[in-house]
Structure 1
Amino acid sequence: MKMFAAIDVGSFDTEIAIYEISEEHGIRKIDHVRRQLTIGRDTYNDGKISLPVMRELIRVLEQFRERMDGYHVEDYRAYAASALREATNSRIILDQIRNATGLQVHTINNSELRFMTHKALALRSSRFDRGTGGRMAVMDVGFGSSQLSLFEDGVLVSTQNLSLGVLRIAEMSSHWKTESRLIPDIEGELMDKELATYRDIYLGGMRVETLIATGESINNMVLRGMKEKPGKMYTAAEFGEFCRRISHMTEEEIAEFCDISGAYARVMIPSAVLYEKVLELTGAGEVWVGGVTLCDGIAADYAEEQKLVRFRHDFADDALSAAGNMSVRYKGDRKHIAAVEKAAMAVFDILQEKYGLNSRSRLLLRLAAILHDCGKYVSITRETLSSYQIIMSTELIGISHLEREIVANVVRYNTRDFVYDEIHLESDLSQYDGLAKGKSEIVLEIAKLAAILRLANAVDRSHRQKLKDLEVRLEDGTLVMETSCEENLTLEQFSMEQKAEFFEEIYGIQPVLQRKRR
């Protein structure tokens, strides 16, 4: 059994949860403490965190450190989301925290945060997997932003971050010169445009069966206000009526109903309005309130990393499915993509063991193969740069931001010259726990995967899938790619020769394309 602490430095409050984690009993929460601290108010209004708020944050984290010592915590993870990540003085704040408390707080981007929430849902109940067996949506309402994810037949179809953080909206509405009773309707108008854009691009005519509602605000409304246990299931009519009831309460009434502070009650009104809007948007027939927190997600992520729990849900499939839907949205050539992916996997599997590639690298290469031509939708002449920009601008839940950068760069250097010193990484590598690689190793991984993608693309240069029976093997220092195809392979042979030099530079192996002997 391992004692583990999860710390969430949020926009509105900072919390710690202590867990017992074991392979036999899974994850058991034994303590949970929350301290209200509106870091987001500073960041969203002024762009930086003030000195008084920094001092209060350090004081709270010192108390958390003492609590960890009292439980003899063996390991921990501490994450901060948008309020600290977006602050112009975030690096200074993180350094001050480390010096004062000894705690290493890592900033986390949106897709990584939501991925952890999905993991917590998957562990909380089999309902997550049952829900994803049909059409399901997960609405995670946050203080800085919100996330709407769609699942169909058990895999993720799409996920989109929405600039509808309820603290941001509450701060904005506090400056409106209007009657307080009109504010919920005006907040609804603010949300309508962004949700309509989401509907037109991602939802279309799709209607979901189950809406999973997550986020601190819904937990307070249901678990504290209604005194329900996690896992409460509502009909759409019940949930809609409940949200309308909350949105038309005064802040004082909400504070009493949910047993929360007046400041916290302020964000409940836009939260209730947003959940009701999403219920209407998706047409869900039922709503499940999972009752998970980011701390639960941090613990689930850690337990998986330590191989103490296993998920029935395949999150790698989610990333691949979302990438496939991206490719469709950007009019990718499906048959060509399938041929490139198949060839890339055949080459990868031959090289994997000898050249230090792992299953995670394989997933990233598959994603790169699926997305390698999405940029043609924007510009045929600047395809790889456009593909890079599309990938970097689109969230893929199931991989980290750093892994998304690897995929984007593999695609970017699919056709352009690979210049090692030119590779730019946005990710702060110091923010990744247990990362055993520096920038040079990551650049080398990008080069290895790009070299394979180039070969795989070359063998379908004509986009006619001539090499349906392609076989790959290593033979006397040569990578032999063999086919019985009797069609003209001039384009494929020429393209292979063009890509061979870079592949040989990376792997020390000469690739050749040849016909099988009769």
Structure 2
Amino acid sequence: MNILTYAAIDIGSNAIRLLINTIYETQETVTFNKTSLVRVPIRLGQDVFTEKKISKKTMNRLNEAMTAYSLLMKVYNVDKYRAFATSAMREASNSKDVIDYIKEKSGIKIDIISGEEEAKVIFSTDLKNFLYSDNYYLFVDVGGGSTEISLLNKGKVHYSQSFPIGSVRLLDKKIDESYLTNIVKPWVTKITKGKSVDVVGSGGNINFIFKNSGKKEGKFLSSTYIHHQYELYKSLTYEERIEKFNMKPDRADVIVPALLIYSSVMKFAHSTRIHVPKIGLADGMINLMYKMKNNNGI
């Protein structure tokens, strides 16, 4: 047996995640085991979507997180890692300065990936179980700054689009809800017309909803349930959400706009079901790194 340890750092608009996986290789099988997952609520999007750049204070917090992650990866004897940033870092006017600073101080090199690359990374996960189905699935990944939507069927991504609307951007009113109706709806309606579509949801907020639903892994949630959860959380104050549902503070404010996006997309696609597999960008990045390693690409 050969044992490898890979790590991925997902620098999102709402939080920064470090995932460490132990990979067990035998002649017959390859098994990925989640060894450690650490999440730090550094909301880059709040700076970028308001001031168009990352503040010095936030940059220092990001560096502290990256330094801690660097030490954790050293303790776990990580063989390979990749740190990647999405929507907020893409739009920050000082992203190069931030990346250079983090590299100098923590030693961690950060790559900025596009919305299209985000989709490619996610497709390296267990999403293939849906990707290769004869059914049509609308993959919806809601982040803090952007939402990636793709139509999957028979081993192909038929359509894919990254929209600059996310939970943090909606929360901070940097984009209006009308964007969903005016921009997202026509696109979703066009690609799903005449098709029976199930939605596959990805993102921390939909994972929270699924976990709290009490449903077993592999089951789906109904569109009615998602809309009901949206109305429920919307009716509560920020403090009530934390108290009643044991939410983290940085989840309690963004969960309402996130559910609005999921619920709206399901409505646009006339979809009544949403599947919530345990997939994420960090999982996909580790899978992609492993595939590239076997193809001598890393």
| TM-score, with structure 2 as normaliser | 0.89
Aligned to 2:127: 122
> Offset at 1:264?
2.6
* Alpha-carbon distance between aligned partners in 1 of 2:131 and 2:185, rounded to the nearest angstrom: 28
SS state at 2:92 partner = coil
> Offset at 1:258?
4.6
* Alpha-carbon distance between aligned partners in 1 of 2:41 and 2:58, rounded to the nearest angstrom: 11
Residue 286 (structure 2) pairs with residue 285 (structure 1): no
The residue type paired with residue 81 of structure 1 is T
* Alpha-carbon distance between aligned partners in 1 of 2:40 and 2:248, rounded to the nearest angstrom: 11
* Alpha-carbon distance between aligned partners in 1 of 2:243 and 2:154, rounded to the nearest angstrom: 41
Residue 97 (structure 2) pairs with residue 92 (structure 1): yes
Residue 166 (structure 2) pairs with residue 165 (structure 1): yes
The residue type paired with residue 264 of structure 2 is K
Residue 292 (structure 2) pairs with residue 305 (structure 1): yes
* Alpha-carbon distance between aligned partners in 2 of 1:84 and 1:163, rounded to the nearest angstrom: 13
Aligned to 1:46: 51
* Alpha-carbon distance between aligned partners in 1 of 2:10 and 2:214, rounded to the nearest angstrom: 24
Structure 2 regions of 5+ residues with no counterpart? none
CA contact (8 A) 1:2 1:74 kept: yes
Superposed CA offset, 1:399-444 (max 9, x none): xxxxxxxxxxxxxxxxxxxxxxxxxxxxxxxxxx85xxxxxxxxxx
CA contact (8 A) 1:7 1:77 kept: yes
Distance 1:199 1:98, change over 3 A: closer
Q: Within 5 Å, which residues of 2 pair with 1:415-454?
A: 434=298
* Alpha-carbon distance between aligned partners in 1 of 2:131 and 2:89, rounded to the nearest angstrom: 33
SS state at 1:119 partner = coil
> Offset at 1:4?
0.8
Distance 1:200 1:17, change over 3 A: closer
CA contact (8 A) 1:247 1:273 kept: no
The residue type paired with residue 30 of structure 1 is T
Aligned to 1:142: 143
Aligned residue pairs total 292
> Offset at 1:230?
4.8
CA contact (8 A) 1:4 1:20 kept: yes
> Offset at 1:117?
1.2
Superposed CA offset, 1:98-126 (max 9, x none): 11111111111111012111222336xx3
> Offset at 1:55?
0.7
* Alpha-carbon distance between aligned partners in 2 of 1:38 and 1:287, rounded to the nearest angstrom: 27
Aligned to 1:245: 232
* Alpha-carbon distance between aligned partners in 2 of 1:121 and 1:242, rounded to the nearest angstrom: 26
* Alpha-carbon distance between aligned partners in 1 of 2:188 and 2:74, rounded to the nearest angstrom: 48
* Alpha-carbon distance between aligned partners in 2 of 1:230 and 1:78, rounded to the nearest angstrom: 29
Residue 14 (structure 2) pairs with residue 12 (structure 1): yes
* Alpha-carbon distance between aligned partners in 2 of 1:157 and 1:260, rounded to the nearest angstrom: 36
2:191 to 199, 202, 208: 202
Distance 1:108 1:287, change over 3 A: same
CA contact (8 A) 1:244 1:276 kept: no
The residue type paired with residue 113 of structure 1 is E
Query: Which has more strand, going by share of residues?
Result: 2
SS state at 1:290 partner = coil
1:25 to 30, 49, 52: 30
Q: Which one has the largest radius of gyration?
A: 1
Q: Within 5 Å, which residues of 2 pair with 1:435-474?
A: none
* Alpha-carbon distance between aligned partners in 2 of 1:108 and 1:47, rounded to the nearest angstrom: 18
2:110 to 100, 105, 125: 105
Aligned to 1:192: 181
CA contact (8 A) 1:21 1:303 kept: no
SS state at 2:141 partner = strand
CA contact (8 A) 2:188 2:265 kept: no
> Offset at 1:227?
5.4
* Alpha-carbon distance between aligned partners in 1 of 2:106 and 2:207, rounded to the nearest angstrom: 30
> Offset at 1:259?
2.9
SS state at 1:8 partner = strand
CA contact (8 A) 2:90 2:112 kept: yes
Aligned to 1:462: none
* Alpha-carbon distance between aligned partners in 2 of 1:63 and 1:229, rounded to the nearest angstrom: 34
The residue type paired with residue 202 of structure 1 is I
* Alpha-carbon distance between aligned partners in 1 of 2:107 and 2:216, rounded to the nearest angstrom: 36
Aligned to 2:60: 55
Structure 1 regions of 5+ residues with no counterpart? 176-186, 309-432, 435-518
SS state at 1:53 partner = helix
What is the RMSD of the two structures over their aligned residues, measured on CA atoms?
2.3
> Offset at 1:141?
0.8
Aligned to 2:252: 265
Distance 1:113 1:257, change over 3 A: farther
Distance 1:230 1:141, change over 3 A: farther
The residue type paired with residue 44 of structure 2 is I
Distance 1:208 1:262, change over 3 A: same
Query: Which has more helix, going by share of residues?
Result: 1
The residue type paired with residue 168 of structure 2 is L
Distance 1:122 1:199, change over 3 A: closer
Distance 1:243 1:266, change over 3 A: same
> Offset at 1:304?
1.3
Aligned to 1:492: none
Distance 1:230 1:301, change over 3 A: farther
CA contact (8 A) 1:243 1:275 kept: no
The residue type paired with residue 14 of structure 1 is I
Residue 205 (structure 2) pairs with residue 212 (structure 1): no
The residue type paired with residue 220 of structure 1 is F
Superposed CA offset, 1:124-174 (max 9, x none): xx3x246x312211111111110111123442221112222111010017x
Superposed CA offset, 1:204-252 (max 9, x none): x2333311011122112222x3355654412333344334333333322
